Structure 1
Amino acid sequence: MLKKWIYYTSIVLTVAFISSGFKSDKAYSQFWLAAADPEPSAVQFPSQHRSDYPFSNLIFTGKSFTGFKEAIAFKESQGQYKLVNSFGYMGKYQFGTSALRSVGITSNSLFLNDPQLQEKAFSALIAKNKWELRDEIAEYEGKVVAGIKVTESGMLAAAHLLGAGSVKKFLRHDGRKKIVDGFGTSLRSYLRKYAGYDTSHIPAEDHPTVY
C-alpha cells in the first residue's frame, strides 16, 4: 500500500511540475499587452516615436525620406514589388505607364522585375512632381487649407496618388473640390497622412531619368 501511495504521489508531483512550466508570468504579459491609451485611434503602425520601440534593434526611419517611401509603399501595395492592381498600376509604389515613361522607363516588364529600378523611379517621380509643384510649395507650405496643414511631403504624396495637376486644383480651390482616385482614396487624406516628412534633399527636376 505504501509503495502504491509513493508511486501515485510521485506521478502527481511530476505532472504539477511540468505543467507549471507552461504558466505565463502575469506581470510579464501585462507589460507587453498594456496600453497607456486604450482608444483605437491611439494605436498606429509604424509609430513615429523612437521611444515606442525601447527594445527594438531595427533602424528607426521616423520622418526621414526612407520613412516617407515605406509609408507610401505600405499604403499602395504593402511593399510588393510585383503587384499589379485592377487598374494596371504596377509595383511597390503603384506606377501607371505614363508615370513610368515620364522618368525614362519604357519596359513595364523590366520595371516589375527590378526592385532597384522601382526605388530609383520613385525618387525620380518625386523630383519631377517637386518641379511641377515648385510654385505651390513656395506659396502654400505651412498654410492651412481645408483644415489641413500643407507640407511639401504631403503635396508630393498627393501628387503621387493623383498627379501634380490635381494637387494644384485642390489648393487653388481652397480644398473645396473632392478629388479621389479609382478606389475612392482622397487627395485630402494623402495631404494629411504624409505631412511633415523630410523630402528636402530631393532636387526639383523638370526631366528626371533613372538612367
Structure 2
Amino acid sequence: MTRNIVKLAALPSVFGLVALSMSIKDTEMPLDNSTDGLELFYTVPQADELDSSTIFDETKNSSLATTGKSFTGFKEALGFKESQNDYKRINQFGYLGKYQFGRSTLLLLGISDTDAFLENPVLQEKAFVANASRNKWVLRKDIKRFSGKKMNGITITESGILAAAHLAGPGSVKNYLRSGGADGFKDAFGTSVHSYLKKFGGYDISFIEANKNAKVDLES
C-alpha cells in the first residue's frame, strides 16, 4: 500500500529523532530486527473517522451481534473503519476491498488479479490474516517491548499495534513507538497511528502467527 506522499510523511522528523535519542537508551534498542529487504511503509488511507464500536450489516439493515474483543471482533471493527465492510469498495486512491488494500501490498501477499480479489470475500479475509502475520513478524520485538506501557495517554496493546500497522505500515509504527510517540504519522486523510493504537486496543489476536514471508494460499 505504498504512496509517495505517505512515504514522505512517514519519515522521522528532526524533532522525532531528537526525542528518540533522549527517550530511549541505545542499549535498549533491538540490535537486529532482520527486516532488510522488506517494505515497511505501505499504508491504507482512511476515508473518514467512522465509529467502529458499532458494526453495521447493510444487507439486514441492523447492527450485527457483538463479537466483543475476539479476533473476529477485531477484523470486523477494522473492516468497518476501512470500508463499512464493503468487499467491493474502491476509494479515490485505488485502495481495494473491505480492508482497503493497495495493489503493491497485494503483490507482496501473492495476489496479482485485483478484479478477482474484489469479487472474492474469502480471498480478502485470507489477505487480511496474511498481512497481519507479516506485520506481526516485523513488529514482534516492539510488541513484546511496548505492550502494556502507556504512551500519549493510551495503553499500548498488540492489537492496537497491528491495526496501526495496517493503517501506516510497520515501519511507521516502529518510528512512533521508538520515539516515545513523538513521531506522529498521519495518512492523507489525517488519520494517525495514535488513533488506531487507541481505537483498536485490547482485542485478542493471539490467533495471528508471526510469519516473515506470509502469503495467501490461492489454491485452497
TM-score, scaled to structure 2: 0.69
Partner of 2:210: 204
The Cα offsets for residues 125-177 of structure 1, whole Å up to 9 and x where unpaired, read as 01000000001011101111122210000000000000000000001111012
Given candidates 75, 79, 95, the residue that maps to 1:69 is: 75
Given candidates 162, 168, 172, the residue that maps to 1:166 is: 172
For residues 38-57 of structure 1, the aligned pairs below 5 Å read: 45-46=53-54
Partner of 1:113: 119
Amino acid at match of 1:72: L
For residues 174-193 of structure 1, the aligned pairs below 5 Å read: 174-193=180-199
1:60 Cα deviation after fit: 3.4
Residue 144 of structure 2 is aligned to residue 145 of structure 1: no
1:86 Cα deviation after fit: 0.8
For residues 15-30 of structure 1, the aligned pairs below 5 Å read: none
Residues 52 and 81, structure 2, Cα contact 8 Å, conserved in 1: no
What's the secondary structure of 2:82's corresponding residue? helix
Change (3 A) 1:192 1:45: closer
Given candidates 124, 128, 134, the residue that maps to 2:130 is: 124
Higher relative contact order (CA 8 A, sep 6+): 2
The Cα offsets for residues 17-76 of structure 1, whole Å up to 9 and x where unpaired, read as xxxxxxxxxxxxxxxxxxxxxxxxxx98439xxxxxxxxxx6531000000011011110
Amino acid at match of 1:118: Q
- CA RMSD in angstroms, aligned pairs only: 2.0
User: Percent same amino acid among aligned pairs?
Assistant: 55
What's the secondary structure of 1:121's corresponding residue? helix
What's the secondary structure of 1:109's corresponding residue? helix
Query: Unaligned regions of 5+ residues in structure 2, if any?
Result: 1-50, 56-63
Residue 140 of structure 2 is aligned to residue 101 of structure 1: no
1:178 Cα deviation after fit: 2.1
> Greater share of helix residues, 1 or 2?
1
Partner of 1:52: none
Q: Which has the higher Rg, Structure 1 or Structure 2?
A: 1
Q: What is the alpha-carbon distance in structure 1 between the residues aligned to residue 66 and residue 182 of structure 2?
A: 36
Query: Unaligned regions of 5+ residues in structure 1, if any?
Result: 1-42, 48-57
1:97 Cα deviation after fit: 1.1
TM-score, scaled to structure 1: 0.72
Change (3 A) 1:45 1:192: closer
What's the secondary structure of 2:78's corresponding residue? helix
